[in-house]
């Protein structure tokens, strides 16, 4: 009893919340990785700067993106794909740093998925007002592996629905260091991010950074 009281001091949120079968929110899971993680991200975005991709429908995405890993997710008027080469620099994406590999694998394991070895880490940058419409992550060949999604910087409202676009999504506030993992029967659930509210984060300033790890093939 006393131990339970201690665990909630300073943070009333449970450390692991199941939000669907195969899906969990791991509160603060990335915090112990932060000191290594943030400098690693700064190095990556120097090599592969953020850019606003164009959707196949011709829209410029409000979220700016880049990648690291052996494959990167890209969108252009011809469609969505994973590409080993950054189309903006014509070079391979920066490699996945060890700290990110460890964070992704240990979060996946905590969410119930052991042996997660992602090839791709999509890095999303949201400034106030930026949003991500409801979508499924379905450009991967391997749906057996989960999606691991790390939130950093300003808090966001994560929308998590079901297998149909029309399923009303539930709303979860994701804060700096929170990790969402979804796989198994929720691997193809629709999800998105509501327009980011303005604010100033102590470490990252006026933005939210999200890392989405995927096993592609």
Query: Closest residue to ligand SIN, Cβ-based?
Result: 210
- # residues contacting ligand SIN (CB under 6 A): 10
Q: Looking up tokens 């943070």, which residue turns up?
A: 11
For ligand SIN, which residue of 149, 159, 182, 196 counts as binding (CB under 6 A)? 149
**Contact flag: residue 193 with ligand SIN (CB under 6 A):** yes
Alpha-carbon span 195 to 209, nearest angstrom: 14
For ligand SIN, which residue of 33, 187, 210, 215 counts as binding (CB under 6 A)? 210
Question: Encoding tokens for residue 129?
Answer: 């007002």
Give the residues across from 73 on adjacent strands: 82
Alpha-carbon span 15 to 32, nearest angstrom: 14
Give whichever of 8 and 128 is closer to ligand SIN, judged by the CB atom. 128
- Lay out the sheet containing 132-135: strands in order across: 132-135, 191-193, 156-160, 170-174
**Cα 147 from chain centroid (whole Å):** 8
For ligand SIN, which residue of 27, 125, 176, 191 counts as binding (CB under 6 A)? 191
**Contact flag: residue 207 with ligand SIN (CB under 6 A):** no
Contact 56, 94 (CB under 8 A): no
Q: How far is the CB of 196 from ligand SIN (least distance, A)?
A: 10
Q: How far is the CB of 94 from ligand SIN (least distance, A)?
A: 18
**Contact flag: residue 212 with ligand SIN (CB under 6 A):** yes
Using CB under 6 A, which residues numbered 103 to 122 contact ligand SIN? 122
**Contact flag: residue 66 with ligand SIN (CB under 6 A):** no
Using CB under 5 A, which residues numbered 125 to 144 contact Fe ion? 137
User: Helical H runs in 86-174?
Assistant: 98-110
Fill in the DSSP letter of residue 46: H
Residues that bind Fe ion (CB under 5 A): 137
């Amino acid at each position: 009893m006393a131990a339970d009281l201690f665990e909630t001091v300073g943070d009333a949120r449970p450390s692991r919340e199941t939000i669907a079968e195969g899906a969990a929110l791991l509160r603060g899971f990335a915090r112990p990785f932060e000191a290594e993680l943030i400098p690693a991200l700064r190095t990556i975005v120097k090599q592969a700067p953020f850019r606003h991709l164009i959707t196949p429908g011709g829209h410029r995405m409000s979220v700016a993106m880049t990648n690291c890993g052996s494959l990167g997710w890209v969108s252009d008027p011809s469609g969505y794909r994973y590409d080993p080469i950054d189309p903006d620099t014509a070079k391979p994406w920066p490699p996945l740093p060890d700290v990110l590999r460890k964070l992704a694998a240990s979060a996946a394991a905590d969410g119930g998925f052991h042996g997660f070895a992602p090839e791709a880490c999509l890095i999303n940058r949201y400034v106030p007002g930026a949003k991500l419409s409801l979508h499924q992550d379905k450009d991967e060949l391997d749906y057996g592996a989960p999606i691991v999604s790390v939130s950093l910087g300003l808090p966001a409202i994560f929308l998590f629905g079901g297998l149909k676009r029309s399923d009303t999504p539930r709303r979860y506030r994701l804060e700096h260091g929170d990790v969402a993992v979804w796989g198994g029967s929720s691997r193809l659930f629709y999800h998105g991010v509501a327009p980011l509210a303005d604010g100033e984060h102590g470490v990252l300033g006026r933005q939210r950074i999200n890392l989405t790890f995927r096993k592609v093939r």
